[in-house]
Amino acid sequence: MHYFYGTLIQLKPYLVSLDEFKDPKNKEYLTALLTDFEKKILEQEPPEIEKAEGFNVTYLLMARHLREVKHLYDAAVYEPAWQKLNATTNFCMACHTRLFKPSLGSGATGLIEARPFEGLKQESSGISAGSAKDLRDAEFYFISHNYLAALQIYDAVIRQFKPPAAGSSTVGVAVEDLQKIYERKLAYFARVKRDPEGAISSLKDDRKNQNLPPRIRENIQTWIDKFADWKKKAASDYARVSDEELLKLVKTTGYQELTGQPISGGDPYVIDLLWVSGVLYERVFRTPNSSAIPEMLYWLAKIERDLGSIHIYSLADVYLRECVINFPKSPIARQCLNEYELGMKQKMGPSSPEYINSSINLMRKTIEEANKPASHEN
């Protein structure tokens, strides 16, 4: 894992910038780095993972995921490759969050606590908010799941925000940057930490800055109201309900009314989806032998896809594929395959790379073979 982290540091400029990732001048360097990355992951499974029940499966999924990143990059399908590369750290969290303890400030048990990767400093002062570099650093911390370090920068940017003076040539933080910051903050408080009280406190501090654009201030109040409603309903209790009750909750969030298109971070409903996806994510990795896992994977993927605009670490396609490969006899496996195909068409257009088509054909064959009537020999 030390190698993985070191490579992540090398990839930092390209993880936070799609333009840098697809710039031809970086092609040779990134090709070599991704090739070595894939090779090391495939050839050197750490002994602590190899011996730990359940962890080696996640590690193998990560290896397969990196192979797809490399295929896409080689084929010059840059944006999907970049998105998948950013999603790679979610596999880290699939292992690093297997040891559960109370979420900070929530008082509920069994929730994921965000813990920073070693080696990343969390300085509480000296942040000079307002530059593009600050936001790039924050994005890297967020991608690396060092949420506390990212949050410090995000908060500093928001609370020190001032629109440029008329006629000024100074380039500061744009309104679009503020929106992205709030997408990250909502993801942290609603999905990772699942802490409505902490969210309300942080958002109220943000709203004290009278220089924020009116629309942002209106959104902040909407989010505060939404988190307050969540707090009244004691939503965190759903982390302890049965699998069947959890799936019922997912289906009654109103999700089925969505169009299947990514929703914006300004939509208050995004908080519901972030929270539900967080509970589902935790449940999938905590109860891998549950009979409800295939359906959980299906719904987790559906929600993740709609959160695509704010979740740079979404793994929707991975969940759908594993639903098919690991549970081909499940009644929902065919729906997982259909959603996977739809996702590939949306990402790749009408001409998907051959390895994607081969993967879909393999998944289809897996379902057919698993559901063949048993032969009766005389």
According to the model, what pLDDT value does residue 249 have?
A: 80
pLDDT tens profile 98-107: 322 223 333 3
Domain boundaries, the chain: 1-96, 99-163+171-231, 241-367
Task: Say whether 315 sits in a helix, a strand or coil.
Answer: coil
Q: Which helix (H) or strand (E) holds 35?
A: helix 27-43
Looking at this protein, which amino acid is placed at residue 205? Answer: D
According to the model, what pLDDT value does residue 376 have?
A: 59
Cα 353 to Cα 85: distance, rounded to the nearest angstrom? 17
Q: Are 59 and 1 in contact (CB under 8 A)?
A: no
Cα 84 to Cα 82: distance, rounded to the nearest angstrom? 5
Left, alpha or beta for 170 (phi > 0: left; psi -120 to 50: alpha)?
A: beta
Task: Say whether 79 sits in a helix, a strand or coil.
Answer: helix
Angle, in degrees to the nearest 10, between helices 196-207 and 175-186: 160
60 vs 14 pLDDT, higher one: 14
What band does 255 get if pLDDT is binned at 50, 70 and 90? Answer: low
Quote the distance between the C-alpha of residue 60 and its chain's center: 19
Q: Are 106 and 134 in contact (CB under 8 A)?
A: no
pLDDT tens profile 212-246: 999 899 999 999 999 998 887 755 566 678 899 88
pLDDT at 61 over 70: no
* Token pair of 258 as six digits: 């969505």
Q: Are 153 and 141 in contact (CB under 8 A)?
A: yes
115 vs 303 pLDDT, higher one: 303
Which residues, 6+ apart, have CB-to-CB distance to 202 below 8 Å? Answer: 155, 185, 189
According to the model, what pLDDT value does residue 319 have?
A: 85
pLDDT at 112 over 90: no
87 vs 363 pLDDT, higher one: 363
4-18, 183-197, 247-261, range with greatest mean pLDDT: 183-197
- Average pLDDT taken over every residue of the chain: 75
Mean pLDDT throughout 327-333?
Answer: 95
Q: Which helix (H) or strand (E) holds 370?
A: helix 354-370
Which of 8-12, 81-85, 189-193 is the least confident region?
8-12
Cα 284 to Cα 94: distance, rounded to the nearest angstrom? 10
pLDDT tens profile 262-305: 556 567 778 888 888 888 888 887 787 889 999 999 998 888 88
Mean pLDDT throughout 91-112?
Answer: 37
Mean pLDDT throughout 181-204?
Answer: 91
pLDDT tens profile 24-56: 999 999 999 888 877 776 665 555 444 444 445
Percent of the chain residues past pLDDT 70, beyond the cut: 69
Cα 294 to Cα 284: distance, rounded to the nearest angstrom? 9
pLDDT tens profile 128-167: 445 556 777 887 787 777 888 889 999 999 998 888 766 5
CATH number of 241-367: 1.25.40
